[in-house]
A and B are shown apart, each in its own frame.
Chain A
Amino acid sequence: MKIHEYQAKQILAEFGVPVPKGRVARTPEEAKEIAEELGGKVVVKAQIHAGGRGKGGGVKLATSPAEAEHAARAIIGMQLVTHQTGPEGQKVKAVVVEEQMAIERELYLAVVIDNVAGRPAIMASAAGGMEIEEVAATSPEQIHRVTVDPAAGFQPFLARELAYAVGLDGDSVRLAVQLMGALYKAFIANDASLAEINPLVVTNDGRLLALDAKFNFDDNALYRHPEVVALRDLDEENPLEVEAQSMGINNYIKLEGNIGCVVNGAGLAMATMDSIKFAGGEPANFLDIGTVNDPQRVVGAFKVIKSDPAVKAILINIFGGMARVDVIAEGVIAAFKQMDVGMPVVVRLEGTNLEQGAKMLAESGLPVIRATDLGSAAREAVQAAGGLS
C-alpha cells in the first residue's frame, strides 16, 4: 500500500525525523493561508502517489501568499502526467504548501528489506534528488548499504558508516545518525516495505531535513495497522483493481490485451500469460484467484474481467492443489447463472478433485470450451478472442 508525501511526512515527524514546516491544502484559499503563516516564500507540490511530479508541472515555487494561491489553483484539479502515471495522468486533489529551504546538498536515504539477507537494509547515496533506480543503473558505486541485525536492532555505527560514506562531516554526522535511527524506527513500527527520503537535504545553516518522503507498506501486515489503512486513497488506484479487491481478489493487475485470465497461483498465472503470448494473443490481465475455496470468488473474478471492455474471451486455468477443482467448477456454473457472460470461455482444469469438477461442468451443459493442457488452452483462447493479434 502507498500513501501521499504529506502523510509520509506526518509519520516521519511523529518519529522525530525533521521535515520542512508546512501542511496539506485542498483549496487555493487554504494554500494562501498556509503561505501567509510561513511568511510567503513557499513551494507548492501536487499530492499524487506517482513520482516525477516536478517535470510534469506539479511543483511550483511562490514568493508570496497570492502567488501560492495562484500556483495551487493551477495544480489542484489538474490531470498530472508523469512517467509513472501513464498517458492519462492522475487527477490532483491536494497540494502541500511548505517553506522553501536554502539547500547546500541533496542526499538519498531509504530503509528497505534486503530479501537475500532477510533483514532490513539502510541505503544512502550522495546522488540525492535523482531516482535511485537510475543511480543503481548508471553508478551503483554511489549507493551505500548496511543491513541491520534484527536481534540487535538499529546501531549508531551503521548510520555513521553511511554518513561518512556520503561525505558528511562534523555535526551533520551526529544529526544523520539521529535521523537514520528515527527513520528505521518508523519503518519497523509501521511494517513498511519502503521508507524513502529523497532528497534528504543539508541546509546552508547545517540542518538535515526530509524534503520529500515516500512510504510503502507490507500489505500482509496491514491487519495490525488500522491507522495505516486509514491513510489509503482509493482514487490513486486502478478502479478495476479496487473492485477486484472488494471481491476478495487481491492479485488482479490490468493489462492491455483482450483475453481475460482466471488462474490459481502467481506462477501459473504468469505462465498462462506467457502461453497466451506465445500462441499469438495478448492477456487482458494477471489474476491469481488464490486458495480460498469459495465459489463466489470465481463469480467475482468473472465480474472483474467482464468490467474490462477490452476482453473478448476468458481463459480459466486451474491446477488445484489447495484450491479444489470442484469448487472452481461450482463457481463457473454460478457465474453463468448470475450474469450474461456473453463471450467464449475456455476452461482447463487439473488437480485436486478434478473428477467431481469435470463431471459437474459436463453435466451443467454450459457452452464452455474444454482444454486438456496449457498449450491447447492458450491456443483455444486466442482463437476464441478473434485470432492472432
Chain B
Amino acid sequence: MSILMDGSTRLLVQGITGAEGSQHARRSVEYGTNVVAGVTPGRGGQKMDEVPVFNTVEQAARETGANVSIIFVPAAGAADAILEAEDAGIPLVICITEGVPVLDMVTVKRTLIGSKTRLIGPNCPGIITPKAKSRAGIMPVQVFTPGKVGVVSRSGTLVYEGVAQLTANGIGQSTSVGVGGDPIIGTSQREVLEMFNHDPETEAVVLIGEIGGNAEQDAAEYISSSMKKPVIAFIAGSTAPPGRRMGHAGAIISGNTGTAKAKKDALSAAGVTIVQTPAEIGATAKRVLTECGLF
C-alpha cells in the first residue's frame, strides 16, 4: 500500500511532446513507472519513445486504461487540460504547471465538486511512491527511498530538501506528495494527512508548510481530532518580513493566521513536533521515530 499511486498506476502524460513533458516522462519510465500514453493535440498516432501519443485524453484513456494523468501544458491551457482529464473520468490528475490564473482555478475547483476526479496541484512537484517505483512529477528520483514515512508539502523544492534529509538519516518514505504552492489547489495538506492516517504502510508523517493562508491550521485541526500517527512539521518563512508577499495571498481574509508563528503554534498545540531550522528536518524526524519505537 501507499497513497494515491502504487503498482497499479497507469500514467498518462498531457503535454508529452513538450520539452519538460518528454524529459520527465522519460525519467518516470527509467524509474520504472508504467507510462501508458501521452496526449498532444495534433500529434495523435505518433510515439514519444515507446509511448503512444493521442489527440485527446478521452481516446488515450479509452485505449490504454490510463488511471492517472500528469499535466505539463503551459499555464494558459492548464485549466482546459485539467477539465479534459476530468471529463474523461481520470480518477487522479496532477498538474505541474506554474502560473495558472486564479479565476481559471475557480472554474476548475467548481467543476470538481461531486466529480470522481481528484486534482493535485497546480504548481506542484507531483507524487512519488518509491516502493512501487511509481513517479508522476518532476522530482529528482535519487533522493527518494522506500520506507514508512509519508511526506506532504506545499513547496516542491522543500519536498526534495526534506526527503534528502530523511534518506540521509536512513528514513524511507511511503509516498511523497507536493500539494502545490498556489492559492487555490485541488487537494489540501489536511486531505493528504487523512489518507496517510488510513494507509497501513505509513507510520509517521512529515508535513512541510509555509507562510500565508491557513492550510496548516486546518491540518492541525485534523491532527488534533483524528491523527493516530506522529507528525513532524517544518514551516518555511519564519524570518520572512511582514507585509511582503513571498508567493502567497489572503492575509486580509485570514487576519494573523498567515505567520509562521501562528502555524507552528497551531500544529504544536495539536501534538506535532516542530522542526526549528530547515537543516534539521531529517534529524528531528529520526529523533521522533526513535522515541516512538519506529526507528
Q: Report the bound CA distance from A264 to B155 in whole Å.
A: 11
Determine whether the beta carbon of B76 is less than 8 Å from that of A223. yes
Interface bits A254-286 vs B (CB < 8 Å: 1, else 0): 010000000111111111111111100001001
Q: Report the bound CA distance from A116 to B218 in whole Å.
A: 10
Determine whether the beta carbon of B238 is less than 8 Å from that of A274. yes
Interface bits A179-217 vs B (CB < 8 Å: 1, else 0): 000000000100101000000000000000000000000
Which residues of B have CB within 8 Å of A350? 140, 143, 160-161, 164
Determine whether the beta carbon of B255 is less than 8 Å from that of A137. yes
Stretch in contact with the other chain, from B36-44, B49-57, B101-109, B193-201 = B101-109
Given contacts A373-B279, A374-B278, 10 further A-B contacts (CB under 8 A): A116-B214, A140-B255, A221-B102, A255-B241, A265-B158, A267-B181, A272-B278, A288-B247, A322-B156, A350-B161
Determine whether the beta carbon of B154 is less than 8 Å from that of A267. yes
Determine whether the beta carbon of A193 is less than 8 Å from that of B161. no
Determine whether the beta carbon of A321 is less than 8 Å from that of B160. yes
Which residues of A have CB within 8 Å of B140? 319-321, 350-352, 354
Stretch in contact with the other chain, from B2-10, B85-93, B205-213, B219-227 = B205-213
Which residues of B have CB within 8 Å of A375? 277, 279-280
Can you list 13 A-B contacts with CB-CB less than 8 angstroms, sorted by A residue number?
A113-B106, A137-B256, A265-B158, A267-B210, A267-B236, A270-B210, A271-B161, A290-B98, A319-B140, A321-B138, A322-B20, A351-B140, A375-B280
The interface on chain A, measured as residues whose beta carbon lies within 8 A of the other chain's beta carbons, has a size of 63
The residues of B with any CB-CB pair to A shorter than 8 Å are 19-20, 24, 75-76, 96, 98-107, 109-110, 125, 137-140, 142-143, 153-158, 160-161, 164, 181, 183-184, 208, 210-211, 213-214, 218, 234, 236-241, 244, 246-247, 249-253, 255-256, 276-280
Q: Report the bound CA distance from A283 to B239 in whole Å.
A: 10
A246 within 8 A of B: no
CB distance from A216 to the nearest CB of B (A): 9
Stretch in contact with the other chain, from A11-19, A52-60, A89-97, A118-126 = A118-126
Which residues of A have CB within 8 Å of B75? 220
Determine whether the beta carbon of B252 is less than 8 Å from that of A266. no
Which residues of A have CB within 8 Å of B183? 113, 115
Determine whether the beta carbon of B252 is less than 8 Å from that of A133. yes
Determine whether the beta carbon of B255 is less than 8 Å from that of A275. no
Which residues of A have CB within 8 Å of B256? 137
Determine whether the beta carbon of B110 is less than 8 Å from that of A115. no
Q: Report the bound CA distance from A132 to B252 in whole Å.
A: 7
In the complex formed, the residue of B with least CB distance to A266 is B247
Determine whether the beta carbon of B139 is less than 8 Å from that of A321. yes
Which residues of B have CB within 8 Å of A133? 251-252
A-B residue pairs, 4 tightest by C-beta: A267-B155, A265-B157, A375-B279, A268-B157
Which residues of B have CB within 8 Å of A224? 76, 101
Determine whether the beta carbon of B110 is less than 8 Å from that of A270. no
Which residues of B have CB within 8 Å of A218? 101-103
Which residues of B have CB within 8 Å of A234? none
Which residues of A have CB within 8 Å of B236? 267-268, 270-271, 274
CB distance from A186 to the nearest CB of B (A): 13
| Known contacts A140-B255, A218-B103; A113/B249 CB under 8 A | yes
Determine whether the beta carbon of B278 is less than 8 Å from that of A275. yes
Determine whether the beta carbon of B102 is less than 8 Å from that of A274. no
Which residues of A have CB within 8 Å of B218? 116
